[in-house]
């Protein structure tokens, strides 16, 4: 039997392995190369200032940008907090993306959880999304040839409640028996809702997005329970910046109120027309719908990337505030990846 030779570490082992990862086109290396995460530092350090040090002693706080990049990894690969800590410890591509070396300390999962909670309480995930959007807008990255609005369902763990408990939850009330069990109550999501799409039912929340039609970058978003109709938050995402450009959407967004708002703002209405009982679509209307659909369908690429590449249309969190934080981070992570793809394809000039 062959006896394995003892392993003798080399000074160049880490650099050689990283060079091999680069040859294999490590996507995280491209993300770190093309995105200047330092633009978020001043904003993110507000989360660390929320809980000031009690005295001169103690361990210094972890770097805010490092923690933020860990949250990006979490949303990009849909990892639990524990798995983020494990994977950063285990994978060279993760440590290189974070700017860590093999001997550096990795933040533990409870530190990551507390940092994300502080971000959410202050709405900093939304502020970071807006900041990145402003940077791209100022650099002329957005095509501004029109906008597309749509929504997708983000599922969360199903709650096993009785019918009576669900009736109280729908009325905005907490079942009396849960009030005496704080541990059980902390694991109950009373803000997620059921919804149906065709023959399938889903439980969770909705991510309503507006995208730039030319680049499919997300420019605005809202988060609601899953049973909220797609058209409800749509008017909030349409404003004077859309004036003079077309707005694409499926027929669910069509209404007299929406038509009036688009006319008032000077937005070109490209919402698909829906036939009604006794008033089917004419051949010309169907042809117009097909023309609109060629542009509108591009928003499905956003959701396909989130579902297939990021696997982020399922969350492990309880409550609308935390879902809003997680979905906001997912939307920002998508934008980061999409921007890098546009740069690598030569469609836009690098901002940094």
The per-residue DSSP string of 132-143 comes to HHHHHHHTT---
CATH number at 260 reads 3.30.420
**How many whole angstroms separate alpha carbon 68 and alpha carbon 120?**
12
Report residue 236 as tokens. Answer: 């909030």
Give yes or no: residues 239 and 313 share one domain: yes
Q: In terms of Cα–Cα distance, which of 231, 223, 241, 233 is closest to 329?
A: 223
Under DSSP, the state recorded for 314 is B
Q: Do 351 and 139 touch, CB atoms closer than 8 A?
A: yes
Backbone φ, ψ for residue 190 (5° rounding):
-95, 5
Q: Is residue 1 part of a domain?
A: no
Q: Is residue 343 part of a domain?
A: no
3-state secondary structure of 316: coil
Q: In terms of Cα–Cα distance, which of 308, 120, 155, 299 is closest to 220?
A: 299
Give yes or no: residues 147 and 116 share one domain: no
Number of domain units in the chain? 2
Q: Is residue 6 part of a domain?
A: no
Give yes or no: residues 232 and 292 share one domain: yes
Q: What is the pLDDT of residue 266?
A: 96
Q: Is the alpha carbon torsion for 124, 335, 322, 58 positive or negative?
A: negative
Which residue intervals of 139-250 are DSSP H helices? 163-170, 176-179, 182-185, 234-237
Q: Is residue 24 part of a domain?
A: yes
Q: Is residue 299 part of a domain?
A: yes
Which residue intervals of the chain are DSSP H helices? 13-23, 27-34, 41-49, 64-77, 81-90, 92-98, 109-122, 124-138, 163-170, 176-179, 182-185, 234-237, 256-265, 283-296, 299-304, 320-344
Give yes or no: residues 96 and 148 share one domain: no
Q: Is residue 234 part of a domain?
A: yes
**How many whole angstroms separate alpha carbon 138 and alpha carbon 346?**
18
Give yes or no: residues 261 and 302 share one domain: yes
Residue at token pair 């509108």: 296
**How many whole angstroms separate alpha carbon 98 and alpha carbon 67?**
9
Q: Is residue 138 part of a domain?
A: no
Q: What is the pLDDT of residue 85?
A: 96
**How many whole angstroms separate alpha carbon 175 and alpha carbon 136?**
47
Under DSSP, the state recorded for 307 is I
CB neighbours (10 Å) of residue 179?
10
Give yes or no: residues 196 and 306 share one domain: yes
Give yes or no: residues 293 and 227 share one domain: yes
pTM over 0.85: yes
Q: What is the pLDDT of residue 253?
A: 93
Q: What is the pLDDT of residue 205?
A: 96
Give yes or no: residues 210 and 285 share one domain: yes
Q: Do 152 and 207 touch, CB atoms closer than 8 A?
A: yes
The pLDDT profile of the chain, 352 residues, written as one tens digit per residue, is: 567 766 666 656 778 888 998 999 999 999 999 999 999 999 999 877 766 556 565 566 789 999 999 999 999 999 999 999 999 999 999 999 999 988 889 999 999 999 999 999 999 999 999 999 999 999 999 999 999 999 999 999 888 888 888 888 888 788 887 877 777 777 888 899 999 988 899 999 999 999 999 999 999 999 999 999 999 999 999 999 999 999 999 999 998 889 999 999 999 999 998 888 877 888 898 999 899 999 999 999 999 999 999 977 889 899 999 999 999 999 999 999 999 999 999 999 999 8
Give yes or no: residues 95 and 150 share one domain: no
Give yes or no: residues 117 and 147 share one domain: no
Q: Report angle CA 128, 98, 11 to the nearest 5 degrees.
A: 165
Q: In terms of Cα–Cα distance, which of 23, 21, 24, 12 is closest to 91?
A: 21
Q: Do 254 and 274 touch, CB atoms closer than 8 A?
A: yes
Give yes or no: residues 296 and 256 share one domain: yes
Give yes or no: residues 218 and 312 share one domain: yes
Give CA separation, 179 vs 167, 172, 173, in Å.
Answer: 16, 14, 11
Q: Residue 247: is it exposed, middle or buried by C-beta count within 10 angstroms (0-12/13-18/19+)?
A: buried
Q: Is residue 130 part of a domain?
A: no
Q: In terms of Cα–Cα distance, which of 271, 243, 245, 246 is closest to 257?
A: 271
Q: What is the pLDDT of residue 17?
A: 86
Q: Which residues pair with 219 in a beta bridge?
A: none
Q: What is the CA radius of gyration of the chain?
A: 23
Domain that holds residue 86: 14-51+61-122
């Amino acid at each position: 039997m062959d006896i394995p030779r003892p392993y003798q570490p080399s000074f160049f082992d880490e650099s050689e392995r990283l060079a091999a990862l680069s040859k294999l086109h490590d996507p995280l290396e491209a993300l770190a190369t093309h995105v200047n995460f330092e633009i978020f530092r001043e904003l993110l350090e507000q989360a660390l200032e929320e809980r000031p040090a009690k005295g001169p002693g103690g361990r210094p706080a972890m770097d805010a940008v490092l923690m933020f990049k860990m949250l990006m990894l979490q949303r990009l690969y849909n990892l639990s907090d524990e798995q983020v800590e494990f994977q950063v410890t285990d994978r060279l591509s993760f440590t290189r993306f974070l700017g860590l070396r093999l001997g550096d300390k990795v933040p533990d999962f409870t530190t990551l959880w507390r940092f994300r909670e502080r971000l959410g309480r202050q709405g900093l995930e939304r502020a970071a999304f807006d900041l990145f959007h402003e940077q791209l807008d100022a650099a002329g990255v957005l095509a501004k040839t029109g906008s597309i609005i749509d929504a997708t369902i983000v599922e969360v763990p199903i709650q096993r409640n009785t019918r009576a408990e669900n009736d109280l939850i729908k009325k905005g009330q907490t079942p009396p028996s849960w009030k005496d069990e704080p541990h059980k109550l902390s694991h109950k999501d009373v803000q997620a809702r059921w919804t149906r799409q065709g023959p399938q039912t889903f439980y969770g929340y909705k991510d309503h997005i507006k995208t730039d039609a030319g680049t499919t970058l997300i420019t605005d978003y809202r988060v609601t329970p899953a049973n909220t109709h797609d058209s409800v938050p749509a008017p909030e995402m349409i404003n004077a910046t859309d004036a003079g450009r077309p707005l694409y959407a499926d027929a669910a967004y069509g209404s007299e109120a929406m038509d009036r708002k688009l006319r008032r703002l000077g937005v070109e209405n490209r919402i698909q027309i829906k036939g009604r009982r006794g008033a089917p679509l004419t051949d010309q209307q169907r042809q117009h719908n097909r023309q609109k659909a060629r542009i509108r369908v591009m928003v499905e690429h956003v959701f396909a990337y989130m579902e297939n590449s990021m696997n982020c249309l399922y969350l492990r969190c309880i409550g609308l505030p935390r879902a809003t934080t997680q979905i906001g981070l997912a939307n920002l992570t998508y934008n980061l990846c999409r921007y890098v793809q546009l740069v690598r394809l030569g469609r836009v000039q690098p901002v940094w």
